[in-house]
């Protein structure tokens, strides 16, 4: 996509936001939306991605100061979806559950125990390498949800893997494809999934996110 089309796309997104949230507009809100739009542009461009997320955080902080109740409503909706998903995917009650404002997970450095896990956070950075996992059960569910997330996931081909990923704003990269912009969705199931000895279902859902999934 050339530069003119990128700015057109961002402009249309901004116009849509103005139409939806027009009655809440103020000078600070407009500045925040411009900062967020520029952050999305940085992420879409694939360069200075961390700068893009910093801009999103700054813009989000300004909106939080200006529209506290709206932000609280978004958090409540996100948590509601999270708990509903837990009831559906972790119905046996045997799972680890975490809710945090921020999460920084580095399961790509040392061996770690793979068990049913559900996490929700406002800001999350997760680096996960399933080849380092110590499997405790033949079938597991990993669920990661929140507001802003930066996810790097490495999946070995000898696993049976089912992936559901959704990002409202941001990008999902799954070799060799990349989806950027709004309402990005991915569903993938490894070949011969049902015949694999070790199975894991991974559910990822964020309002703003950068998801990178690699097969090894």
Q: For the segment 84-138, what is each residue's pLDDT rounded down to a tens digit?
A: 666 666 656 566 778 787 788 888 888 988 888 888 888 888 899 988 988 877 7
Task: Look at residue 54 in the predicted model and tell me its pLDDT.
Answer: 80
Going by C-beta distance under 8 Å and a sequence separation of 6 or more, which residues neighbour residue 54? 39
Structural contact between residues 149 and 211, judged by C-beta atoms closer than 8 angstroms = yes
pLDDT for 191-203, tens place per residue? 888 888 888 899 9
In whole angstroms, what is the distance from residue 8 CA to residue 3 CA?
9
Count CB-CB contacts under 10 A for residue 160: 19
For the chain, give every domain's residue range.
3-66, 73-215
Start-to-end Cα distance in the chain? 30
In whole angstroms, what is the distance from residue 24 CA to residue 30 CA?
10
| Strand intervals (E) in 53-174 | 96-107, 112-114, 117-129, 133-135, 139-155, 160-174
* Helix axes 27-45 and 3-21, enclosed angle (nearest 10): 140
Average of pLDDT values for 35-62?
A: 74
The secondary element (H helix, E strand) that includes residue 72 is helix 68-89
Q: Which two three-digit tokens encode residue 150? A: 């930066």
In whole angstroms, what is the distance from residue 121 CA to residue 184 CA?
20
**19: confidence class by pLDDT, cuts 50, 70, 90:** low
**210: confidence class by pLDDT, cuts 50, 70, 90:** confident
* Overall pTM surpassing 0.75 (yes/no): no
Structural contact between residues 105 and 123, judged by C-beta atoms closer than 8 angstroms = no
Q: Which of 170, 186, 151 minimizes the C-alpha distance to 44?
A: 170
Helix (H, G, I), strand (E, B) or coil at 211: strand
Residue matched to tokens 């999270």: 82
């Amino acid at each position: 996509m050339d530069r003119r089309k990128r700015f057109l796309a961002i402009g249309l997104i901004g116009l849509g936001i103005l139409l939806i949230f027009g009655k809440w507009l103020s000078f600070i809100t407009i500045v925040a939306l411009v900062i967020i739009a520029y952050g999305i542009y940085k992420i879409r461009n694939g360069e200075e991605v961390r700068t893009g997320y910093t801009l999103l955080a700054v813009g989000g902080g300004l909106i939080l100061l200006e529209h506290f109740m709206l932000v609280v409503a978004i958090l409540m909706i996100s948590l509601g979806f999270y708990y509903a998903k837990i009831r559906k995917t972790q119905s046996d009650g045997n799972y680890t559950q975490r809710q945090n404002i921020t999460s920084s997970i580095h399961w790509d450095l040392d061996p770690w125990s793979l068990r049913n896990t559900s996490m929700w956070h406002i800001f999350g950075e997760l680096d996960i390498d399933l080849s380092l996992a110590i499997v405790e059960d033949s079938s597991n569910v990993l669920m990661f949800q929140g507001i802003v997330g930066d996810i790097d996931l490495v999946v070995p081909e000898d696993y049976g893997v089912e992936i559901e990923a959704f990002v409202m704003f941001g990008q999902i990269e799954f070799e060799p494809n990349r989806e950027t912009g709004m309402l990005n969705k991915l569903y993938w199931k490894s070949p011969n999934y049902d015949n694999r000895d070790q199975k894991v279902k991974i559910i990822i859902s964020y309002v703003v996110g950068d998801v990178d999934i690699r097969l090894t």
